[in-house]
Structure 1
Amino acid sequence: MEKRQIKNTDLLVAPVNFGGNVFGWTLNEKESFDILDQFTAGGFNFIDTADTYSWWVNGKGGQSEEIIGKWMKERNNRNDLVIATKVGSETKEHGFDISKKHILKSVDESLARLQTDHIDLYYTHFDDQKTPVEETLEAYDEIIKAGKVRYIAASNLSPERLKESFEVAEKNNLPKYVALQPHYNLLEREKFESQYADLVKEYDLSVFTYWSLAAGFLTGKYRSEDDLNKSARGEGVRKYLDDKGLNVVKALDEISTRLETTQASVALAWLLANSLVTAPIVSATSESQLKTLFAAPELKLGSEDVELLNKVSQY
């Protein structure tokens, strides 16, 4: 499998990024180990998590990092992987926080849970809207120089704060973000395409999309309100049960049938056909779901397929 380089780094990643929010939530430790074993056996090496996953289970988080850390320790495979985690998210214990004090404390806690001496890609998860950009970047500068973090990235920053981050970094010789993690999929196009795409080009950022399958809606398993109880995440897709959402699923049905693949693989292939997207982030909780992920990079959509999907998903 051809690896893709994260721009402005020496990191090479397979074109699917595993979303670790399921570890310690819908997958227990043993099940998580099994999925991770299968994922890496398939030639994939990029795992995404956050210090607060899965805070919705215990109000604090840390389970996902702990599971990944135990698995890497047992498998002795840390050097074969690219590990991304995040700082700044809200929990029951504290609000959004990207202050220097919080970052310096949080990075050590993440390293301990991951049982590693460095994080490859460290994200600003959410903006607290009050910490000066310079303070945040100075904290990152300190932990990069200490060898705790290799590169930094951004998720859920406003276009204005993202732009300011690059201006401040340039002016003060501070680290620059190398990647953006936006909410982007066939049903969530407008915000990324209208507010972030030009910044991605201007600052030469790699893009790792989250909720790449619209919380599972783009798998085609939710077609009516009766389907919402099919999973723990079902209620989150209710908003997509409208004419647009169902037309997108219909197009995915048509293309996947013709190409003898799954709707989810087609939805991911649509993302990968976008030159701005380096690797979509997507989770799996079973072997069949993993096969869907594995198929996406091998699936080459024709121009007419991309055109149809663009048409039914337009905003």
Structure 2
Amino acid sequence: MQFRRLGRAGLKVSELSFGSWVTFHNQADVKAAVEMMAAAWDHGVNFFDNAEVYAKGESERIMGAALKKLKWPREKVVVSTKFYWGLNDGPNERNTLNRKYLLQAMDGSLKRLNLDFVDLAYCHRPDPNTPIEETVWAMSDMVTRGQALYWGTSEWSADEIRAAWLIADKHHLHKPVVEQPQYNLFHRKRVEKEYARLYEDCGIGLTTWSPLASGLLSGKYRKGIPKGSRGALENTKWLADQLIDKPKNAATDKLEKVAKELGCTLSQLAIAWCAKNPNVSTVITGASKLAQVKENMKAVDVIAKLTPEVIAKIEEITAPLAG
């Protein structure tokens, strides 16, 4: 496992990391979380991603309980959370990035995570109803207070990220250092084109999510939606149509042949492809079972095998279907 700087920030994160979206509470209890996080740690992972909204706060509670049991030195682990959707109804409690919500939401997340601070705090989505300046001041104040060490954004447009960075620069505030976008073989344009100027201009790092396109790139949905899979869960049924997309599932058949030539699985190939991008600081992986964690972690051995010739084969298969 290699470690990469988070953009131009000094923080280093493992090139593969572990996230709790969908799985913690919905598919994994504290015991399972401890086992999977420990397995990721044993493979060199130091970054563990979460969010306030995941399982309505229960994901943070499970990760907090797992961290307590694992007893890792705090200086060795990087933990994140994200804010926007909120946990309660109310004009200042849901779908907002106003100052009141953000500072109170951070207090709640720290309690659930059993932590004094998080390493990364993200604005989980942009908020068109709150001035970006207000959000930037609130996030910068979180860092000043020591509740977060760095802050960033998730699924913001390039223009919104640049606006936030310029406001922080103008007022000598803590700047956003990281963006967390979806990035995989079928979802690429934002990372590869829209954000292209941000890496050099603003020093933004990326902690990308969904390297397997919610499981589609594992090949498990080629014959429909299996029981117990993410696509079968009640709270993620909205994913079903894209998971059984026929052209993309047909492409996974071709990708699997490339993976076999490299001596790896389809999932490992897809994860390694994301990590091959030099602008990606870390690829967030997810799993509901211990075996999946162990399989995913082996993707680090595949990165070096992605020669220009192999990349060209992958492009021929996936580029026409990528958005």
**What TM-score, normalized to structure 2?**
0.89
Q: Deviations over 1:269-291 (max 9, x none)?
A: 11111111121111012222112
**Match in the other structure for 1:47:** 48
**Cα pair 1:83 1:119 within 8 Å, conserved:** yes
Two-structure CA RMSD over aligned residues (Å): 1.8
Distance 2:257 2:66 in 1: 39
Deviation at 1:186, TM superposition (A): 0.5
Deviation at 1:165, TM superposition (A): 0.6
Distance 1:282 1:112 in 2: 25
**Match in the other structure for 1:298:** 301
Matches within 5 A, 1:23-42: 23-42=24-43
**Cα pair 1:6 1:206 within 8 Å, conserved:** yes
Structure 2 residue identity aligned to 1:209? T
* Structure 1 residues 228 and 39, CA gap change in structure 2 (3 angstroms): same
Distance 1:157 1:126 in 2: 6
Task: Report the secondary structure of 2:280's partner residue.
Answer: coil
Task: Report the secondary structure of 1:208's partner residue.
Answer: strand
- Long gaps (5+) in structure 1: 55-60
**Match in the other structure for 1:69:** 64
Between 305-314 and 149-158, the greater mean CA deviation after superposition? 305-314
- Long gaps (5+) in structure 2: none
Distance 1:201 1:250 in 2: 37
Structure number with higher relative contact order (C-alpha < 8 Å, ≥ 6 residues apart): 2
**Match in the other structure for 2:213:** 214
Deviation at 1:90, TM superposition (A): 5.0
Deviation at 1:91, TM superposition (A): 4.9
Instruction: From 308, 317, 321, give the equivalent of 1:312.
Output: 317
**Match in the other structure for 2:122:** 123
**Cα pair 1:251 1:308 within 8 Å, conserved:** no
Matches within 5 A, 1:33-182: 33-54=34-55, 61-77=56-72, 78-91=74-87, 93=89, 94-182=93-181
**Cα pair 1:153 1:178 within 8 Å, conserved:** yes
* Structure 1 residues 201 and 308, CA gap change in structure 2 (3 angstroms): farther
Matched, 1:204 2:196: no
Equivalent residue pairs, number: 308
Q: Deviations over 1:171-204 (max 9, x none)?
A: 1112211111111110112233332233233212
Matched, 1:256 2:251: no
Between 6-15 and 279-288, the greater mean CA deviation after superposition? 6-15
Structure 1 residue identity aligned to 2:41? T
Structure 2 residue identity aligned to 1:80? K
Between 262-271 and 183-192, the greater mean CA deviation after superposition? 183-192
**Cα pair 2:255 2:317 within 8 Å, conserved:** no
**Match in the other structure for 1:57:** none
**Match in the other structure for 2:191:** 192
* Structure 1 residues 30 and 204, CA gap change in structure 2 (3 angstroms): same
Distance 1:91 1:110 in 2: 11
Matched, 1:272 2:275: yes
